[in-house]
Amino acid sequence: MRKKIIAGNWKMNMTPNETLKLIGTLKPLVSGAGADVVFCVPAIDIPAAVNATKDTDIAIGAQNMYHADSGAFTGEISAPMLTDAGVRYVIIGHSERREYFAETNEGVNKKVLKALEFGLVPIVCCGETLTQREQGVTIDFVRQQLKIAFLGVDAKAAKGVVIAYEPIWAIGTGKVATCEQAQAVCGAIRALIAELYGPDTAAAIRIQYGGSVTADSAAELFGQPDIDGGLVGGASLKADFGNIVNYK
Among residues 99, 117, 166, 180, which one is catalytic? 166
d(CA 154, CA 147) in angstroms, rounded, equals: 12
Eight-class DSSP state of 35: S
* Amino acid sitting at position 67: H
Which of 67, 94, 96, 103 is catalytic? The answer is 94
Is 166 among the catalytic positions? yes
| CA dist., res. 21 & res. 76, Å (int) | 27
What sign does the CA torsion over 23, 182, 173, 205 have?
positive
Distance CA 75, CA 86 (A): 20
Known catalytic residue at 94? yes
Q: How far is CA 156 from the centre of its chain?
A: 19
| DSSP letters spanning 108-169 | HHHHHHHHHHTT-EEEEEE---HHHHHTT-HHHHHHHHHHHHTTT--HHHHTT-EEEE--GG
The catalytic site residues sit at 94, 166
